[in-house]
């Protein structure tokens, strides 16, 4: 009898728990709802259960479907808050601190991910002074699904742009939101759904690929879990990797007596300093004289960027590590580590492909209080491990690179949430196959607008300059990619933030995120909020050949053409019928730019800022917005 009663009450409890009203993660306390639009609130409960919502003195009712799903659409609301919301079925949920304002979905790869804390030197004051309770971010956790669109997210919550949470805000999205907040004085919500290194294909739904049969074939193949499992179950290597002698012999220890170490410069790559084709680990060591004034206080070590991974030791203590190449190395040092006199700095660097070492033209120093010591210069090195090259090529599938994988897991669960528009910063992972990106971006725009059932504004960032400067006119894969990005401007309610002037030659994640966010906000003011403003720099309109000169006219002139440095416009190249481009001499004449080269009698074609990383793309309008790179020989 007792067992029967226990079973009965367990069953009743189980039914009660299953019947309880549940909400998606994004519908939670602290959320920002879209103003002046119908607002969707949805969730799950028992089949045919009655659900009631109370919000702003109104009551809404519905009954769940047979699958237990319910959705209620609230009346449009003006900006304001904070409000509370009650949701009631067999249980009652109360959500607090709800704001109504503007909501933007911010998505893409690592330059959208990059948090404020990764740029905490340049934006130290911004972080310290952040006190925006009405700017909020919901970060979508990184998850993958190759099978089908999902309805639920992993655990997350809304955070305010105050300390310490400001550190985890997307820097681009934060500066975008801050500019809109200061302009319109309404709450701003950021839904940050982004993942570093991902291609655009991962963010488009299966239905969005109807014009891409080869991609659809891949999606269907990936639905076979056995196929994925087989592809990703790699054979065991025939021999294990060698051990790192530096770890075995504790080269980081102050008691270790160095033997056989050689000189090497930091910054710099070891392949450029006499070490040929080495993949493995290289240890660097140097004794640094620290004055007493820098001791007994917290310090910070700046190690620029390192390819690929590193571990820093000081006086035998492990200080910090980074596992991949892209982040800036900024390691906090406790107040009891540094001592007056000689301090042993040791860095273990691991590189598995290409050049390894310390990226040039980055900060390398240690700072404590007001004192700074430069760490650049000659160190000593010794090889700890050499990886043996493998001739086998394993076609392992990276799940979050697969088409529709991130749409299914990180976008689909959001499509009920009412938003103002999209902000997109992505492309670096697609530059290797630039041609055709415009079709993919158009597919993504159409796909997302279809899923939200509205022609929402789509704002995006054109990639900045990156990689080596080329002082001669040349072909460029990144320039081709930017041209593909520009083509999306032909789609209604789109806008592009040009960032050609904001890049760094040695960093795919440039520091200057504020300007990117502010230019996106300018684009939003015109495209989404219908302000009559100049939101873009000069863009190519037409050209006219007059003798040995070409006169170029522009759109988006604003108050007039100018240059950032007061010099003649640079980065213009000119060519005749042979398409052999040479640098043009230039002159601004009213609202046009005149181009010529004495060696070309009959010019036909023009290029502007056509390079991976143009040296000085200085053409702007007087609103200080950079000109859009272009060419006429296509």
Question: pLDDT tens-digit profile of 382-405?
Answer: 999 999 876 555 678 999 999 999
Structure confidence at residue 459 as a pLDDT band (50, 70, 90): very high
Q: Is the pLDDT of residue 215 over 80?
A: yes
Q: Is the pLDDT of residue 474 over 70?
A: yes
Q: pLDDT tens, 480-500?
A: 999 999 999 999 999 999 999
The pLDDT value recorded for residue 2 is 57
Q: Which residues contact 227 (CB under 8 A, 6 or more apart)?
A: 221
Q: How many CB atoms lie within 10 A of CB 420?
A: 22
* DSSP letter string, 297-338: S-EEEEE--EESEEEEEETTEEEEEESSSSS--EEEE-TTT-
Q: Which residues pair with 530 in a beta bridge?
A: none
- Mean pLDDT (whole number) for 295-314: 97
Question: Exposed, middle or buried: residue 201 (CB in 10 Å: 0-12, 13-18, 19+)?
Answer: buried
Work out the percent of the chain whose per-residue pLDDT is above 70.
95
- Mean pLDDT (whole number) for 26-31: 98
- Mean pLDDT (whole number) for 407-428: 98
The domain covering 101-234+399-535 belongs, at the CATH homologous superfamily level, to SGNH hydrolase (3.40.50.1110)
The pLDDT value recorded for residue 393 is 59
Tokens found for residue 88: 């009631």
- DSSP-based three-state secondary structure for 563: strand
The pLDDT value recorded for residue 8 is 44
Q: pLDDT tens, 536-594?
A: 999 999 999 999 999 999 999 999 999 999 999 999 999 999 999 999 999 999 999 99
Q: How many CB atoms lie within 10 A of CB 542?
A: 11
The pLDDT value recorded for residue 366 is 98
Q: How many CB atoms lie within 10 A of CB 7?
A: 10
* Residue scoring higher pLDDT (300 or 242): 300
pTM check: above 0.95: no
Segment holding 266, helix H or strand E: strand 262-266
Alpha-carbon distance of 315 to 624, in angstroms, equals 49
The pLDDT value recorded for residue 231 is 83
Structure confidence at residue 13 as a pLDDT band (50, 70, 90): very low
**Residue 517 DSSP class:** H
The pLDDT value recorded for residue 17 is 47
* Residue scoring higher pLDDT (14 or 230): 230
Q: What is the mean pLDDT of the chain?
A: 94
- Residue 17 has phi, psi (to 5 degrees) of -65, -45
| Max CA pair span of the chain | 105
- DSSP-based three-state secondary structure for 514: helix
Q: Is the pLDDT of residue 365 over 70?
A: yes
Q: Is the pLDDT of residue 272 over 50?
A: yes
Work out the percent of the chain whose per-residue pLDDT is above 90.
91
- Mean pLDDT (whole number) for 514-530: 98
The pLDDT value recorded for residue 70 is 97
Cα angle at 264 between 260 and 267, to 5 degrees?
A: 150
Q: Which residues pair with 239 in a beta bridge?
A: none
- Mean pLDDT (whole number) for 607-631: 98
Q: pLDDT tens, 312-352?
A: 999 999 999 999 998 999 999 999 999 999 999 999 999 99
The pLDDT value recorded for residue 273 is 96
Name the CATH topology of 245-386.
Jelly Rolls (2.60.120)
Is residue 424 within 8 Å of 460, Cβ to Cβ? yes
Q: Is the pLDDT of residue 242 over 70?
A: no
Q: Is the pLDDT of residue 142 over 60?
A: yes
The pLDDT value recorded for residue 11 is 38
Is residue 520 within 8 Å of 424, Cβ to Cβ? no
Q: Is the pLDDT of residue 206 over 80?
A: yes
Q: How many CB atoms lie within 10 A of CB 22?
A: 17
Q: Give Cα separations from 322 to 366, 449, 601, 634 (angstroms).
A: 17, 38, 56, 43
The pLDDT value recorded for residue 173 is 98
Structure confidence at residue 241 as a pLDDT band (50, 70, 90): low
Q: Which residues contact 566 (CB under 8 A, 6 or more apart)?
A: none
- Mean pLDDT (whole number) for 268-281: 94
Q: Is the pLDDT of residue 362 over 50?
A: yes
- Mean pLDDT (whole number) for 220-242: 75
Lowest-confidence range among 169-173, 214-218, 233-237, 274-278?
233-237
Q: Which residues contact 248 (CB under 8 A, 6 or more apart)?
A: none
Alpha-carbon distance of 177 to 193, in angstroms, equals 15
**Among 122, 107, 120, 121, which Cα is nearest to 166's?**
120
Locate the domains of the chain by residue range: 101-234+399-535, 245-386, 539-631
């Amino acid at each position: 009898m007792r067992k029967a009663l226990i079973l009965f009450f367990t069953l009743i409890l189980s039914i009660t728990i299953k019947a309880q009203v549940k909400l998606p993660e994004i519908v939670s306390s602290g959320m920002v709802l879209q103003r002046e639009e119908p607002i969707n609130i949805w969730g799950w409960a028992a089949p045919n259960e009655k659900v009631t919502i109370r919000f702003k003195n109104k009551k809404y009712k519905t009954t769940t479907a047979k699958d237990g799903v319910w959705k209620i659409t609230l009346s449009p609301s003006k900006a304001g808050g904070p409000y509370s919301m009650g949701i009631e079925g067999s249980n009652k949920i109360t959500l607090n601190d709800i704001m109504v304002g503007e909501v933007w979905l911010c998505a893409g790869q690592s330059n959208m991910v990059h948090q404020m804390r990764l740029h905490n030197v340049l934006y130290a004051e911004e972080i310290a002074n952040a006190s925006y309770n009405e700017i909020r971010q919901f970060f979508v956790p990184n998850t993958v699904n190759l099978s089908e669109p999902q309805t639920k997210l992993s655990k997350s919550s809304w955070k305010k742009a105050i300390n310490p949470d400001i550190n985890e805000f997307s820097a681009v999205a934060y500066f975008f939101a801050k500019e809109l907040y200061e302009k319109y004085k309404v709450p701003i919500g950021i839904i940050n759904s982004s993942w570093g290194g991902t291609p655009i294909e991962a963010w488009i739904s299966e239905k969005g690929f109807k014009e891409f049969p080869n991609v659809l074939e891949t999606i269907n193949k990936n639905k076979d879990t056995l196929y994925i499992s087989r592809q990703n179950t790699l054979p065991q290597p025939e021999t294990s990797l060698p051990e790192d002698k530096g770890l075995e012999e504790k080269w980081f220890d102050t008691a270790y007596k160095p033997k056989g170490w050689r000189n090497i410069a930091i910054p710099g790559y070891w392949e450029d300093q006499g070490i040929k084709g080495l993949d493995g680990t290289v240890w660097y060591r140097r004794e640094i004289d620290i004055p007493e004034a820098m001791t007994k206080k917290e310090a910070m070590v700046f190690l620029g960027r390192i390819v690929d991974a590193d571990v820093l030791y000081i006086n035998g203590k492990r200080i910090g590590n980074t596992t991949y190449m892209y982040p800036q190395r900024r390691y906090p040092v406790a107040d009891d580590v540094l001592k007056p006199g000689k301090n042993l700095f040791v860095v273990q660097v691991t590189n598995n492909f290409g050049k390894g070492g310390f990226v040039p033209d980055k900060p390398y120093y240690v700072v404590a209080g007001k004192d700074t010591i430069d760490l650049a210069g000659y160190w000593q090195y010794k090889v700890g491990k050499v990886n043996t090259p493998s001739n086998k090529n394993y076609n392992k599938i990276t799940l979050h690179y697969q088409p529709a994988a991130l749409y299914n897991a990180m976008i689909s669960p959001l499509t009920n949430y009412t938003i103002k528009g999209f902000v997109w910063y992505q492309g670096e992972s697609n530059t290797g196959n630039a041609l055709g990106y415009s079709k993919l971006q158009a597919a993504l725009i159409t796909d997302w607008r279809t899923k939200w059932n509205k022609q929402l504004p789509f704002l995006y960032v054109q990639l900045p300059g990156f990689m080596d400067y080329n002082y001669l006119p040349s072909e460029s894969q990144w320039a081709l990619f930017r041209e593909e990005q520009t083509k999306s401007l032909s789609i209604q309610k789109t806008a592009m933030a040009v960032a050609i002037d904001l890049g760094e030659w040695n960093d795919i994640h440039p520091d200057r995120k504020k300007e990117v966010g502010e230019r996106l906000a300018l684009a939003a003011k015109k495209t989404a909020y219908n302000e009559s403003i100049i939101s873009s720099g000069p863009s190519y309109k037409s050209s006219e050949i007059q003798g040995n000169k070409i006169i170029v006219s522009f759109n988006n002139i604003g108050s007039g053409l100018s240059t950032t440095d007061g010099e003649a416009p640079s980065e213009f190249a000119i060519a005749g019928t042979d398409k052999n481009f040479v640098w043009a001499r230039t002159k601004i004449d009213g609202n046009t730019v005149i181009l010529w080269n004495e060696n070309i009698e009959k010019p036909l074609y023009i290029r502007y800022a056509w390079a991976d990383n143009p040296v000085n793309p200085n053409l702007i309008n007087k609103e200080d917005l950079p000109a859009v790179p272009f060419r006429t020989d296509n």
